[in-house]
């Protein structure tokens, strides 16, 4: 229950990746108009990339030079609202907007459409900079 002592344990990258792959919805974290922004999105793990489907307009993609991508974060968690136990995982890394039509089509196969009538963006982030923790009951 809420008042129970709990422990926070950092997770190994492999375990973080496994947990991230066990859910399909997370949150894309970026900056817009110099303010922190966050928006729910959906994801799949595709080889060494995390593939994100999002309706968010991420301004940094426009300002980044060719071949460069803004550093974004993507977070997913599963935390019980009552016990507040569970896990959280964050991937941080340089993001690329997927523009190759073939790869977009393949990603759309993996990612169910997010919002009807909205042009979903497909974003790829290397999945190697991944951290996470587990909140567990202690004692």
Between 99 and 109, name the residue whose CB sits nearer to a second copy.
109
In the complex, least distance from residue 22 CB atom to a second copy, rounded to whole angstroms: 10
Binding site for a second copy (CB under 8 A): 2-3, 5-8, 23-25, 27, 29-31, 35-40, 42, 55, 71-73, 75, 77, 79, 81, 84, 88, 90, 92, 112-118, 135, 138
Cα Rg of the chain, angstroms: 16
In the complex, least distance from residue 64 CB atom to a second copy, rounded to whole angstroms: 14
Whether 129 contacts 17, CB under 8 Å: no
Whether 77 contacts 88, CB under 8 Å: yes
In the complex, least distance from residue 6 CB atom to a second copy, rounded to whole angstroms: 5
Q: To the nearest 10°, report the CA torsion of 31, 104, 131, 5.
A: 90
In the complex, least distance from residue 72 CB atom to a second copy, rounded to whole angstroms: 6
Q: How far is CA 3 from CA 84, 134, 136, 137, in A?
A: 10, 17, 13, 10
Between 94 and 100, name the residue whose CB sits nearer to a second copy.
94
Between 68 and 112, name the residue whose CB sits nearer to a second copy.
112
* DSSP character at residue 84: -
Between 49 and 88, name the residue whose CB sits nearer to a second copy.
88
Collapsing DSSP states into helix, strand and coil, what is residue 70? coil
């Amino acid at each position: 229950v809420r008042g129970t002592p709990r422990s926070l344990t950092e997770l190994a990258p492999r375990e973080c990746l496994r947990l991230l792959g066990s859910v399909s919805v997370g949150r894309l974290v970026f900056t817009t108009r110099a303010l922190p922004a966050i928006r729910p999105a959906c994801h799949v793990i595709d080889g060494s990339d995390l593939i994100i489907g999002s309706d968010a307009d991420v301004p940094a993609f426009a300002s980044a030079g060719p071949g460069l991508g803004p550093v974004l974060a993507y977070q997913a968690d599963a935390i019980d609202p009552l016990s507040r136990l569970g896990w959280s995982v964050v991937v941080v890394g340089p993001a690329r907007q997927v523009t190759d039509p073939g790869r977009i089509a393949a990603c759309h196969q993996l990612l169910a459409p997010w919002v009807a009538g909205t042009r979903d963006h497909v974003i790829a982030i290397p999945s190697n900079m991944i951290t996470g923790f587990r909140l567990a009951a202690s004692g």
